[in-house]
A and B are shown apart, each in its own frame.
Chain A
């Protein structure tokens, strides 16, 4: 029997908490995240009425964090999906075809890796302008290097497998071999990388929103909440602590889940910890 690691259990629990929160946000939230502004209650500390306190416009922080899970998760999933599609198709074709195409793809990957994601996205965002749409494009186009490298490496090792060789001798075409023989056999590591990628996409969203380039107010984004709270860090710490905690828990959850999945999917059972 496969041993289920602690990482996998904790990661899954955190993942489920975040997903459930995002789906049932209207049921869980105690206030409306945007409309329930009341300056009478601005910057109240946590109390019975406002579980995690209120922000500078008197909006309930707990409700904003709950709704913020939707935005973070949506951005994380969409961005990572874009990254995975780009990375896997480039890596798969590069590893399979080799030659000049491989050189070009590996060159681009090196380029992407050499520039920090947030800096790259920042540059793109300054051209595209703030907003969720351009945020998705900016992040979705800049963080595919890992999935690209992983899938290329997978292809290179799978290519020497007998059943891949056999499908050449049986007369199957390149597309068939790439998508029906290679892709299904390399899906494990890709899932792991994608899971961890969701975490870093959420981080990147928070970072960009913190810098004022991501999600536009008044939409409740954890990063934007942090940015607003920065000035009141000393006097109203709950403004920044709780959104920060939400980011921390979510990203930790995805990373642990990815780690646990890697150990779980690894046929040898003892992958080295990175």
Chain B
């Protein structure tokens, strides 16, 4: 029923070593993204969504390691690849866009050279041909007068323009998967929508799958076909993007959706402020037994305190980690 997945993560756990002790930062994450699919990963800061992304690109730093699970990309087991093989994938088949366009470009190189380098590196082109391709790539990300822009240095461009250039670099080699790690967080609100539209449009045209990482639930729900919500290193719920607002299942997702301000919405009688989820996220040093969310959960049962819930299917492709279902 679904296409063969481009990316298939099964039961991924990542542990971090601090003072010779291992702590689990990401636990039991499974997700699969089909060809050309837009997949959203939401969660608050430190919940492990960026770590998951880095592990896909094989970029975990030395004190982090994959302790369990597999990552299959186009049929290849990524966690088993050597440095050289991984490097060939990166930028060519898997690309990334970061949240800080202001600092993600080398300040001492013209943007034309920085885009062109990709073609030289991954396609073995000459610098001259690469420059032509760079102009084309700039044109595709809707930068006006690309022929002149390639001679600009990053400091001469605005934040939105730089993010467009990052997109041009990331998509230059038609990757199968684009990891967009909060691509719009650092941008002006008016530019955000434009940039996201641009990413999606270009990826659609190329059949590139997108893993969109964000803490903006609204953005992700609107743009992505499927959305996974992460909390404290686990995916607590996965649903179709269109359902996440109308039918959130996990108490955490419900809390998130409930805490969003609604335009034109009125406060209920007696309510003086927006809803919130009480308590704070546990740090990885103090994960308790049972469900990770139970200390903050309004519907917590006795069982939740002792035994961690497994994934329960909801709908055709979704699942939730909660005892209130199934």
Contact = CB atoms under 8 A, between A and B. Distances in A.
B98 A171 contact: no
Contact of B103 (A161, A169, A173): A161
Given A162-B103, A163-B104, A163-B105, A172 B121 contact: yes
Interface string B114-138: 0001100110000000000000000
Nearest to B101: A162
A170 interface: yes
B247 interface: no
Nearest to A168: B59
Interface string B158-176: 0000000010011000000
Contacts of A162: 98, 100, 103-104
B87 A169 contact: no
Interface string B97-116: 01010011111110000000
Contact of B88 (A163, A165, A171): A171
A274 interface: no
Contacts of B91: 169-172
Contact of A171 (B100, B105, B122, B166): B122
B57 A185 contact: no
A49 to B, nearest CB: 55
Contacts of A167: 106
A218 interface: no
A171 B106 contact: no
Contacts of B88: 171
B55 interface: no
By DSSP majority rule, is chain A's interface helix, strand, loop, or mixed? helix
Contacts of A173: 87
Contact of B107 (A163, A165, A166): A163
A191 to B, nearest CB: 14
Contacts of B122: 171
Nearest to A185: B108
A161 B123 CA distance: 26
B220 interface: no
B163 to A, nearest CB: 12
A56 interface: no
Interface in A159-186: 161-163, 165-173, 176, 180-181, 184-185
Contacts of B57: 169
B95 A169 contact: yes
Interface string B68-80: 0000000000000
Contacts of B237: none
Contacts of B95: 169-170
B90 A163 contact: no
A178 to B, nearest CB: 13
B89 interface: yes
Nearest to B181: A169
Interface in A165-218: 165-173, 176, 180-181, 184-185
A176 B98 CA distance: 21
A170 B106 contact: no
B26 interface: no
B25 interface: no
B92 interface: yes
Nearest to A166: B104
Given A162-B98, A166-B98, A185-B108, A171 B121 contact: yes
Nearest to B113: A180
Interface in B24-71: 57, 59
A171 B89 contact: yes
Interface of B: 57, 59, 87-92, 95-96, 98, 100, 103-109, 117-118, 121-122, 166, 169-170
25 contacts: A162-B103, A162-B104, A163-B103, A163-B104, A163-B105, A163-B107, A165-B104, A166-B96, A166-B98, A166-B104, A166-B166, A169-B57, A169-B59, A169-B90, A169-B95, A170-B90, A170-B118, A170-B121, A170-B169, A171-B90, A172-B91, A180-B109, A181-B106, A184-B109, A185-B106
Given A166-B166, A170-B90, 8 more contacts: A163-B104, A163-B106, A166-B104, A170-B118, A173-B87, A180-B109, A184-B109, A185-B106
